[in-house]
């Protein structure tokens, strides 16, 4: 999720033909991208039916055509995101990838890598290794999706998840938590796509695996 204009060190370039991302990870990534797109566009349609800010989303970027249709798409995306996310997390933990890829992590290290990236000196020669900015960003988005799921459960089954509803401050507060969590997810996606465009090797690796 990051980019650099620095020329990579030849000694650290990924070996030709080396596996960067296993097949299960690439499948989970693209399914997750599809689920997020469905939930975002349908969620904007749901928001438009009862907005709590002084704006609505353009109809052309919403999904479902009307409230009922948007809800159906949102529920479909919900199951895809939930099941795919659980499988992704389970496989990361089972293979040990979670600890290898995302740790160690420190705020000082993330700040140093961010500074290097802003100066164009953060190398991305080895795509198999995440820098600390990437680690922090990916862990953040996992936590953000968890908040989306929990607040979404309150909006979906408010009575059944009464305790969770109260922990979030009530139904209307849960709506806002859900909205803000989705806004943060969309911000992550925007930066993620921009950085992938700046380092196209990372996109090709997520498609081909090598």
The 10s digit of each residue's pLDDT in 20-38 is 889 999 999 999 999 999 9
Does 82 reside within a domain?
Answer: yes
Does 55 reside within a domain?
Answer: no
Does 12 reside within a domain?
Answer: no
d(CA 39, CA 55): 19
Is residue 104 reached through a cis peptide bond, with omega within 30 degrees of 0 on the bond before it? Answer: yes
**DSSP 8-state secondary structure symbol assigned to residue 169:** T
Residue 132 has pLDDT above 80, yes or no: yes
> What is the domain count for the chain?
1
Q: Are 165 and 154 in contact (CB under 8 A)?
A: yes
CA neighbor of 184 nearest in space, from 150, 152, 117, 137: 137
Q: How confident is the model at residue 16 (pLDDT cuts 50, 70, 90)?
A: very low
Tell me which of 69 and 6 has the higher pLDDT: 69
> Domain with 108 in it: what CATH number?
1.20.950.20
Does 198 reside within a domain?
Answer: yes
**Predicted TM-score (pTM) of this structure:** 0.83
Does 11 reside within a domain?
Answer: no
| Structural domain for 80, as ranges | 20-50+62-119+128-208
Number of Cβ atoms within 10 Å of the Cβ of 204: 14
The upper half-sphere exposure of residue 121, i.e. CA atoms within 13 Å in the direction of its Cβ, equals 5
Does 9 reside within a domain?
Answer: no
Does 29 reside within a domain?
Answer: yes
CA neighbor of 24 nearest in space, from 84, 82, 106, 73: 84
The fraction of the chain above a pLDDT of 70, given in percent, is 89
Does 81 reside within a domain?
Answer: yes
């Amino acid at each position: 999720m990051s980019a650099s204009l620095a020329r990579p060190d030849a000694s650290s370039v990924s070996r030709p033909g080396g596996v960067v991302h296993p097949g299960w990870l690439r499948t989970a990534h693209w399914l997750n991208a599809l689920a997020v797109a469905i939930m975002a566009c349908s969620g904007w349609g749901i928001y438009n039916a009862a907005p709590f800010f002084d704006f609505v989303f353009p109809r052309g970027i919403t999904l479902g055509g009307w409230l009922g249709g948007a809800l159906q798409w949102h529920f479909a995306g919900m199951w895809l995101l939930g099941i795919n996310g659980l499988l992704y997390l389970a496989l990361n933990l089972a293979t040990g990838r979670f600890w290898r890829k995302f740790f160690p992590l420190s705020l000082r290290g993330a700040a140093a890598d961010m500074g290097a990236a802003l100066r164009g000196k953060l190398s991305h020669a080895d795509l198999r290794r995440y820098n600390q900015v990437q680690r922090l960003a990916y862990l953040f988005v996992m936590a953000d999706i968890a908040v989306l799921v929990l607040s979404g459960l309150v909006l979906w089954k408010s009575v059944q998840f009464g305790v969770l509803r109260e922990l979030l401050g009530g139904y209307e507060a849960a709506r806002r938590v859900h909205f803000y969590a989705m806004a943060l997810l969309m911000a992550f996606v925007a930066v993620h796509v921009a950085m992938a465009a700046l380092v196209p090797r990372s996109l090709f690796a997520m498609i081909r695996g090598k």
